Amino acid sequence: MKILAIETSCDETAAAVVEGVDEDLKILSNVVVSQVDIFAAYGGVIPEVAARSHLEAMMPVLDKTMEGISWNEIDAIAVTHTPGLLGSLLIGTLTARQLAILHNKPLYAIHHLKSHIYANWLESNNIAFPLLALVISGGHTQIIYMKGHNQFEIVGTTRDDAVGECFDKVAKILGLPYPGGPSIAKVASKNNKYKLPHPRVEGLDFSFSGLKTAVLRAVQKELGLPISHPSHDLKNYLNKQQVADFAASFQRTAIEILAEKMEQALTKFPEAKSIVVSGGVSANEELRKVFKEKFGDKVYFPEPKFAGDNAAMVGAAAYYEILAGAKSVDPCYLDIMPRSKIN
Ligand code: KG4
Ligand code: ZN
């Protein structure tokens, strides 16, 4: 079965053709056009600009994705319809609806977090259940318990900022370009000079807004400036070494917080046979190292290029939904939902 998948939930215009045979997934094409260069200039995503860029990029991305593949070969179309930026989701969803009508193909509506989780099945098809999925992206930080394919129970979530959002905000304080995750990882030194607090949050929930504020206060203290000093101006006083050391201490603390929660999650769900990490932040090499040291063979990561937003993962999620007997949706009526929980 060949699936054309489309992803436009945030600032990546992506399409892919994924072929599923039994439990195996093969990527026949995968195209991602990222808008990060546009948003680096603004220091973050501007939803209206993102939607317009999707509109411009969509057709060229589709043409490239379908190069050498005929429409007769495509068995289904899958698209991210929730959650994400309203205008961005609309462009991908409307495109998929039109293609499904035009080419008379069944259409599958996919939840973005499912796609992130299933990016791991692009790598490996023998991940043992039950498992704990840790989704760490720019919009989400969640621990999801999965008894089997397509069974999702949220057991931990962030009460405020997502961890990726925290990387982006801390990068801004340090004067590093958007997106903050890769910028912080790139400049981080080997030192752990600044001690930053771990939030005390009950159960398996997270909180990351306090960590961002802790970095802000530590920077002000280091520079001998008052807490009233505006955060956007601090970068003008920091030298390269200080930026590298703050980046390192922040990155280390964020990773420790995630790893501690996963240890707690394993104590609560001792039957979990695997830990499946996904989302943009899962590209972080330091995090991969720490998790592999702590959790050994239990832990799975997607290939780094499939950690962030892409459409191959949407195809993977769709394939496993179809295998589980999911119904296609009516292409005349499929709606988008900017917010929704995985289910
Ligand atoms: O999954 P994703 O591409 O989009 C959402 O669904 O949100 O995640 C984007 C997030 C951004 O916050 C970005 O800073 C973060 O992933 N990110 C990283 C790294 N690469 C991307 N965070 C830490 N280390 C990285 N190497
Ligand atoms: Zn994402």
pLDDT given at position 27: 98
22 class by beta-carbon count within 10 Å (0-12 exposed, 13-18 middle, 19+ buried): exposed
Please choose, from the candidates 253, 250, 254, the residue with its C-alpha nearest in 3D space to the C-alpha of residue 174.
250
Closest ligand 1 atom to residue 167 Cα is 14
Q: Which residue ranges of the chain lie beneath pLDDT 50?
A: none
Q: What distance in angstroms lies between residue 164's CA and the mean position of ligand 1's atoms?
A: 5
The phi-psi region of residue 203 (left if phi > 0; otherwise alpha if psi is between -120 and 50; otherwise beta) is: left
Q: What is the CATH topology of the domain spanning 128-301?
A: Nucleotidyltransferase; domain 5 (3.30.420)
> Ligand 1: residues whose CB is within 6 Å?
10, 137-139, 164-165, 167-168, 179-182, 185, 279-281, 283-284, 308-309
Q: What distance in angstroms lies between residue 342's CA and the mean position of ligand 2's atoms?
A: 13
**Alpha-carbon gap, residue 288 to 282, rounded angstroms:** 7
> Considering only CA atoms, which residue is closest to atom 3 of ligand 1?
308
β-pairing, 299-300 with 153-157? unpaired
DSSP string, 73-88: G--EEEEEEESS-HHH
- Across the beta sheet with 299-300, what order do the strands follow? 153-157, 141-146, 131-136, 274-278, 299-300
Please name the amino acid found at residue 56.
Answer: E
- CATH for 2-120+306-323, options being 3.40.50.720, 3.30.420.40, 3.40.50.970, 2.70.70.10: 3.30.420.40
Buried b / exposed e along 249-288 (16+ C-beta atoms within 10 A): bbbbbbbebbbebbeebbeebeebebbbbbbbbbbbeebb
Whole-model pTM over 0.95: yes
**CB contact at 8 A, 81 and 89:** yes
pLDDT given at position 163: 98
Domain layout of the chain by residue ranges: 2-120+306-323, 128-301
Neighbours of ion ligand 2 (CB under 5 A): 137, 309
Supply 215's token pair: 């970095």
**Alpha-carbon gap, residue 306 to 283, rounded angstroms:** 8
The reply to whether domains 2-120+306-323 and 128-301 share a CATH topology is: yes
Please name the amino acid found at residue 32.
Answer: V
